[in-house]
Structure 1
């Protein structure tokens, strides 16, 4: 459940000055030592590419996409990506797809997170920000860093405009092959920022949930709106 309302008065196509807000990360995992231990173990097992441990740690109804049934069987397929499950034209990509999934899982679970009102632990922390209905969520990104350079041109050598920390920004045309992305701040300022600091607001998020028996499980790992 999202907890913070983000106020943005405009669409990027018709910018109107709005107050900028910063959302510094506060990781709440240490509020429950059993959760902190479980997450640390998960990350160790992910680094070891331990499929069996991850599948055993999943909820019976783990949510993995907005269009499939989910569950541990699907989780296993995502973690292993058997080539024969792909269309023939994509089978050569199986190894890259598998590694990308593991990397996304590790990156997401490594982020600061928060407890929602149901006691579920969600990562990353920007997921608790509620975007306005007028904003296309696929153009919204969170600056994952402190004092990140905003430059006047798409280059490390570009003149520094200002330093940005933990803000929601708009990327009207994200180009993954480009190292620097053109962004809008919510006050109308524009510039270029390195893609490594931009986290899509519809990117991967994960939820860890304590079962009735007291064991922590991974119950959501999904991307998209």
Structure 2
């Protein structure tokens, strides 16, 4: 469940009326020592690329996609990416796709997280932010850094307009291969921000859930709205 509300209409307000909000990363994992131990162990298995061990740490019904059944075998396929499961034009990309999936899993589970009202632990922490209904979530990004320079032009030498820390910004036309993205702040200011510090609000997130037996499991790893 998302807990922090980004005030409705804020992203469309005029510069004279709008306010900027920051959402600093806070990791609530320390509230539960058994969760801390499970996450550290899971990360070690992910870093070792131990497919069997990572799959064994998943829920029997792990949620992996908004359009598939999920489950451990689908999770294993996502982790291994057998070329025969891909279309002919993508078979040569199997290794690249596999590496990307592992890297996204490692990065996501490494993020600060929070407990929802069901006791599930969600990562990353900014997934708890509720966007206004007027905002297309696919254009919303979290600035994952402190005092990141917003520049007048897409160049490291361009004049600095503001310093951005842990805010939600709008990127109307994200360009995957560009060093800088043109963004808009909630107060209406536009400029250019380094792509490395922009995390999509519909990017990967993960949930760790305690079973009835008391064991923590990875029960969600999904991307999209």
Q: Which TM class, normalised by the smaller chain length?
A: over 0.9
Question: What's 2:139 paired with?
Answer: 139
Deviation of 1:16 after TM superposition, in Å, equals 2.7
Structure 2 residues without counterparts, runs of 5 or longer:
none
Q: Secondary structure at the match of 1:60?
A: strand
The Cα offsets for residues 146-188 of structure 1, whole Å up to 9 and x where unpaired, read as 1111111101122111111000000000000111000000000
Which residue of structure 2 lines up, in the alignment, with residue 53 of structure 1?
Answer: 53
CA contact (8 A) 1:112 1:125 kept: yes
- 1:107 and 1:223 mapped to 2: Cα distance? 13
State the alpha-carbon separation in 2 of the partners of residues 154 and 25 from structure 1: 27
Question: Structure 1 unaligned runs (5+)?
Answer: none
Tell me how many residue pairs correspond in the alignment. Answer: 223
1:15-94, aligned counterparts within 5 Å?
A: 16-17=14-15, 18-94=18-94
* Contact 1:149-1:160 within 8 A present in 2 as well: yes
SS at match of 1:142: strand
SS across alignment from 1:155: coil
Summarize deviations over 1:48-103 as a string: whole Å, max 9, x none.
00000110000011000100000001000000000011011100000000000000
* 1:113-192 aligned within 5 A: 113-192=113-192
Cα deviation 1:2-39 (Å, max 9, x = unaligned): 11111142666xx6332110011110011101101111
> What residue is the counterpart of 1:99 in the other structure?
99
- 1:10–1:135: 8 Å Cα contact kept in structure 2? no
On the 8 A contact 1:140/1:169 being kept in 2, the answer is: yes
2:8–2:133 contact (8 Å) kept in structure 1: no
Checking the alignment, whether the CA contact within 8 Å between 1:9 and 1:16 is kept in structure 2 is no
- Kindly indicate whether the alpha-carbon contact (under 8 Å) linking 1:63 and 1:222 is maintained by their aligned counterparts in 2: yes
Cα distance in structure 1, aligned partners of 2:212 and 2:19: 43
2:210 alignment counterpart: 210
